[in-house]
Structure 1
Amino acid sequence: MSDPVAVTPELLRRTPLPRPSEEGDKEERGRVLVVAGSVQVPGGALLAGIGALRAGAGKLQIATCASVAPHLGLAVPEALVAGLPETAEGGISPDAATALIERARRCDAVLIGPGMMDRPAVAALAGALLRGLDGPPDGPSLLLDAGALAALEQAGAAPPHRAGRMVVTPHSGEMASLLGMERADVSADPPGVALRAARQLGAVVALKGSCTHIATPEGARWAYDRGRVGLATSGSGDTLAGIVAGLLARGAPPEVAAIWAVYLHGEAGNRLARRHGPLGYLARELLAEVPAILAELCDWS
């Protein structure tokens, strides 16, 4: 088996993102729905939502717990924020699935998982959304992150009509749970495990780590090893998920959204490391770096 292709600026320029027209409005750049957050970790929804906007998505909706929704609405004034029923543990209730499915069908990309702490509830909710959104090929692109990955643990694979049209972004511990293996075995062969997961789950996989490995069900593989240790910080995965979702909303194919997002996330960390030092920058600070990196790579002047 050949080695994964390195994710570099040269690769990205050969794999361009959809270019919006100068006359286009925000609808052209897509609508993102971020289903995220909990009473304990409302910031996961904030980081992911802003990540989607920084990646160039045109419109943002956040669906979160009712008790924190007003606060998120003030913190992210660019977003429509919908409050949903809560569980006793502070998560989004699976009873919200029907309303969310209707909302999601009107969007171009749906991200489920950041900051969702009630694991049984998020597994049930994400599973219901997967089933409810399985159908026409013009439905939204889906991204499962963090707690929402438990829905795939139970299902074993993406719904039939979502095969190859979904992205998952596990770290090594989450990947071990997804595949029923030991974390040490994931760490021993991350490129092989990423490919196995992509084929088994029917999804584009971005296996996060010091070197992030991306794989498709068809067998294409990429690797990004330019990230620094400072990226391993609270909320960093939420920002990456949001960037992927924003690129999906803009019309990028799942594998293109994944490789671009991994690079943008990593390069944002590199720039902060040069400015502030290798440790101590915040996940929220990554997001303001993304538009300039995009502009340099896309060269739309």
Structure 2
Amino acid sequence: MKAALRGAATGDPRRVDAALLKGWPLPDPRASTSKEDRGRVLVIGGSVQIPGAAMLAGIAALRAGAGKLQVATARNAALPMAIALPEGKVMGLPSDASGNIRTLGQEGAEAVRHASAVLVGPGMDSSEATRRVVASVLAAASSTVVLDAGALDLAALRGESRRRSSATLVLTPHAGEMAALLDTDEDAIAADAARIARECAQVWGIVLALKGPTTHIAAPDGRMWINTAGSVGLGTSGSGDVLAGLIAGLAARGATPEQAAVWGVHLHAKAGARLSRRLGLVGFLAREISGEVPGLMP
């Protein structure tokens, strides 16, 4: 019954609406007896210049219901973040002279191995060092890995396809990032977003959430969902970090990668719509989005 509600493997995209979500419920938290049962999420990201991106993502993961949070960030940003984020364990990773994460290190790799879901990229630059971090994560992970922002890298995806990891990848690019992945321009992505999302998900063997006013979520088996709800106010600094954190948090709870992406996009959109009604069409902050999420989950 649930498969029918979600659409055929190569059929038309399914709109994300109440009927679809009712037939595809998230894992019931009442079945858990402790925070361990709702999973451990690890966020790898941030830098001395942009420490808040990883923190936004980590808080969103907890708001999505993950039981435990770890954040791995640039060493010089770790102590301030630990003070600002008492709900999580914060570890400092080796960083370069500019304050960017340089390598995952042994402690980071161990954290990846024990995580129920891993998010990499918020607040990180697209660089050779970031590629090394992504490669190290994929070598150690056996759970869902969400790649966002600076971690969206085609070379890493090609290496992953050769390695045949047991990790499942979820990518969350906006049109500009997708254009960079495909070496094209944003207009080309916007003009054919549905086909591009579906084909890339199938060719790369990933779940892809191509963000925009209409967000296309595609699975590697050809299934696809579209979300048109939301608010123009979600186009604000840090909003994408929150979405990536929601997806990782839902995956840590036990949602499948495609379910985590669909529900994460839906909850993010509905939270933005709520804030727009209460505060105004634009002007609310990314840090306010995840606070709306617990009241939107069944």
**Structure 2 length-normalised TM:** 0.92
1:285 aligned to 284, 288, 295, which one? 288
Structure-2 residue corresponding to 1:190: 193
Whether the 8 Å contact between 1:90 and 1:118 is mirrored in structure 2 is no
Structure-2 residue corresponding to 1:91: 100
1:194 is paired with a residue of what secondary structure?
A: helix
Q: Does 1:156 align with 2:179?
A: no
Counterpart mapping for 1:79-228 below 5 A: 79-94=88-103, 96-117=104-125, 119-133=127-141, 139-150=142-153, 152-156=154-158, 158-159=160-161, 160-162=163-165, 165-228=168-231
Partners of 1:157 and 1:180 in 2: how far apart?
A: 18
Encode CA deviations 1:170-207: one digit per residue, 9 max, x unaligned: 11111112223332211111111111110122110000
AA aligned opposite 2:266: Y
Following superposition, the deviation at residue 129 of structure 1 comes to 1.7
Structure-2 residue corresponding to 1:260: 263
Following superposition, the deviation at residue 162 of structure 1 comes to 4.2
Q: Does 1:39 align with 2:48?
A: yes
Unaligned runs of 5+ in 1: 134-138
Partners of 1:118 and 1:182 in 2: how far apart?
A: 18
Q: Decide whether aligned partners of structure 1 residues 154 and 53 sit closer, same or farther in structure 2, where only a CA change above 3 A counts.
A: closer
1:245 is paired with a residue of what secondary structure?
A: helix
1:199 is paired with a residue of what secondary structure?
A: helix
Partners of 2:271 and 2:29 in 1: how far apart?
A: 23
User: Relative to structure 2, which stretch is displaced further, 84-93 or 239-248?
Assistant: 84-93
AA aligned opposite 2:66: A
Partners of 1:278 and 1:181 in 2: how far apart?
A: 32
AA aligned opposite 1:122: T
2:188 is paired with a residue of what secondary structure?
A: helix
2:76 is paired with a residue of what secondary structure?
A: coil
Q: Does 1:25 align with 2:34?
A: yes
Encode CA deviations 1:48-75: one digit per residue, 9 max, x unaligned: 0000000000000000011111111111
Whether the 8 Å contact between 2:32 and 2:38 is mirrored in structure 1 is no
Partners of 2:63 and 2:201 in 1: how far apart?
A: 27
**Structure 1 length-normalised TM:** 0.91
Following superposition, the deviation at residue 280 of structure 1 comes to 0.2
Structure-1 residue corresponding to 2:7: none
2:61 aligned to 47, 52, 67, which one? 52
Structure-2 residue corresponding to 1:136: none
Following superposition, the deviation at residue 20 of structure 1 comes to 2.4
RMSD: 1.6
Q: How many residues of Structure 1 are paired with residues of Structure 2 in the alignment? A: 288
Q: Decide whether aligned partners of structure 1 residues 23 and 111 sit closer, same or farther in structure 2, where only a CA change above 3 A counts.
A: closer
| Identity across matched positions, percent | 48
2:25 aligned to 16, 20, 24, which one? 16
Whether the 8 Å contact between 1:268 and 1:286 is mirrored in structure 2 is yes
Partners of 1:263 and 1:182 in 2: how far apart?
A: 27
Partners of 2:166 and 2:12 in 1: how far apart?
A: 24
* Structure 1: 4+ residue segments shifted above 6 A: none
1:276 aligned to 259, 276, 279, which one? 279
Whether the 8 Å contact between 2:231 and 2:269 is mirrored in structure 1 is yes
AA aligned opposite 2:24: T
Following superposition, the deviation at residue 153 of structure 1 comes to 3.5
Following superposition, the deviation at residue 118 of structure 1 comes to 5.7
1:227 is paired with a residue of what secondary structure?
A: coil
Q: Decide whether aligned partners of structure 1 residues 23 and 35 sit closer, same or farther in structure 2, where only a CA change above 3 A counts.
A: closer
Q: Decide whether aligned partners of structure 1 residues 265 and 155 sit closer, same or farther in structure 2, where only a CA change above 3 A counts.
A: closer
